[in-house]
């Protein structure tokens, strides 16, 4: 198939038509942050973390196919600021207080927080409490940790072919549900565990692995007492 020419960060490259911008950037070794994207799931372009600039327009790299004359830029202030804003909004929605999370640092959202240097909540956090579904023998669903990437829903249907997980409501009220909104333990879940495997946060976890995240993840920081409930004032 005839290759097409595009520019990436000022360099002209020839790429195969049919690929997404993300695939091309990945082939070139250019890091692009992603959250909703997970191969081999179908890309859905919902988190907006992978945005790149093409001739002044922001586009999601994971869902945009390459086309002739694209002029992709991955590191402009517009791109970096947009990604950071998305991340700040995600952290302010639901409960993303990482220090109290069962996955203990084994979290893609937290990794992104480090990558973008987030050291405080930029926006007021959404205080509403969502339910925790502990009804399943092996899997716990904590909707407070969910970023609505829908990886679990897609993995359950596209990969496992089980069609157990789905979603209901809209916007901030969106909830991942099992079957017609029954507790996961009472649903037709086969305990394959794929949902926990693809979940980027602590929203769906294998109960037996909780608090077994990274062995060591510590560094000395100056306490930010706005966030800390203890109030010791120590380093
Ligand atoms: Fe592309 Fe989420 S990774 S929009």
pLDDT in tens, 129-181: 899 999 999 999 999 999 999 999 999 999 999 999 999 999 888 999 999 99
For residue 48, which atom of ligand 1 is closest to its CA? 4
Is residue 187 over pLDDT 70? yes
CA of 233 to the centre of ligand 1 (A): 38
19 found inside a domain: yes
The last residue of one of the domains, among 62, 88, 114, is 88
- Least confident piece of the model among 47-61, 69-83, 138-152, 211-225: 211-225
Ligand 1 probe mutation, 23, 33, 37, 79, most atoms within 8 A of CB? 37
The two three-digit tokens of residue 13, written as one number: 């490259």
Residues 134 and 197 both lie in one domain: yes
Nearest CA to ligand 1 atom 3: 34
- How many folded domains does the chain comprise? 2
For position 229, what pLDDT does the model report?
53
Q: For 4-38, how does the pLDDT look when each residue is reduced to its tens digit (9 = 90+)?
A: 999 999 999 999 999 999 999 999 999 999 999 99
Domain of residue 166 covers 128-209
CATH number for the domain that contains residue 178: 3.30.70.20
pLDDT value at residue 171: 87
Question: Is 231 inside a domain boundary?
Answer: no
């Amino acid at each position: 198939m005839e290759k097409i020419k595009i520019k990436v960060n000022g360099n002209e490259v020839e790429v195969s038509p049919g690929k997404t911008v993300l695939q091309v950037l990945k082939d070139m070794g250019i890091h692009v942050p992603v959250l909703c994207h997970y191969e081999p799931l179908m890309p859905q372009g919902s988190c907006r973390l992978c945005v790149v600039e093409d001739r002044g327009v922001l586009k999601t790299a994971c869902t945009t196919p390459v086309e002739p004359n694209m002029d992709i830029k991955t590191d402009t202030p517009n791109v970096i600021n947009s990604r950071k804003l998305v991340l700040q909004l995600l952290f302010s929605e639901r409960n993303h207080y990482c220090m109290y999370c069962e996955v203990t640092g084994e979290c893609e959202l937290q990794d992104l927080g480090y990558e973008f240097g987030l050291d405080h909540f930029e926006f007021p956090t959404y205080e509403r409490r969502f339910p925790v579904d502990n009804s399943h023998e092996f899997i716990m669903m904590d909707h407070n940790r969910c970023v609505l990437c829908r990886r679990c829903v897609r993995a359950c249907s596209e990969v496992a072919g089980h069609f157990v997980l789905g979603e209901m409501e809209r916007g901030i009220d969106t909830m991942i549900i099992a079957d017609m909104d029954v507790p996961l333990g009472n649903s037709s879940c086969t305990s394959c565990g794929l949902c926990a495997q693809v979940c980027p946060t602590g929203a769906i976890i294998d109960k037996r692995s909780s608090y077994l995240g990274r062995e060591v993840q510590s560094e000395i920081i100056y306490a930010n007492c706005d966030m800390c409930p203890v109030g010791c004032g120590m380093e």
